[in-house]
Structure formats: C-alpha cells, structure tokens
Amino acid sequence: AQKVTQAQTEISVVEKEDVTLDCVYETRDTTYYLFWYKQPPSGELVFLIRRNSFDEQNEISGRYSWNFQKSTSSFNFTITASQVVDSAVYFCALSEVLTGNQFYFGTGTSLTVIP
C-alpha cells in the first residue's frame, strides 16, 4: 500500500490564483516526519518544509502555507497568488522510525502556472 498518496497528478492554474496540493499519508508510527519538496525542470529536488508528528501547527512562509491534520492524515500545501516560477513537480514525503527512517515519497503533483 502507498504510504504517501498525492491524488492530483497534474494541476493547471492561471497566474495569481491560489492552489492547494493534497497529500495523504499512512503510518502506524507515533513518531514521524513529513516533508515537501519542489522539483523544477532542472531535476534537483529542493527541500521546502519539514513537520513532525507532534506539531500540528500550520505554517506560513511567504506565499506558501502548509496545513497538517493528523485526524485526516493529511499534509496539504497551498500556494497563494501563484507565479510562473512556481511551475514544478511537488513531492510530499514521509519518514518514520518504524521502517528505519527511510523516506517514502508520493508520486508527485505537476503544477503548471499559466501566465
């Protein structure tokens, strides 16, 4: 079974629109971390955020915000006022103690921001 599910394969938005990327995870562990990465066309995955299982506070960083809800096992990512430079593939990932701290990645969401 997939440990991290990103149901949205591709999303297109017009510049300045808000967009939310969904991430649902599955774990039996009580101690785990969730991550978001951005992969621009150059190929390198760029770390965006880390959140631990004991901290459900939402986080905002500029135009980016993250909503972590343990009750629904979700860690969603919202980009406000999207820009063309936000076009990339975004990956959600889970790291849990139970499986030796291995990273599990979702299949990614390809975001295209149309000018």
Nearer to another protein, 60 or 97 (CB): 97
Nearer to another protein, 5 or 80 (CB): 5
Q: Which tokens is 69 given? A: 């809800």
Least spacing, CB of residue 17 vs another protein, in Å = 26
Q: Cα-Cα-Cα-Cα dihedral of 29, 89, 10, 6, to 10°?
A: 0
Distance CA 23, CA 21 (A): 7
- Consecutive H or E run containing 66: strand 64-69
Nearer to another protein, 100 or 115 (CB): 100
**Which residues of this protein are in contact with another protein, per CB under 8 A?**
31-33, 35, 37, 42-47, 50, 52, 91, 95-97, 99-108
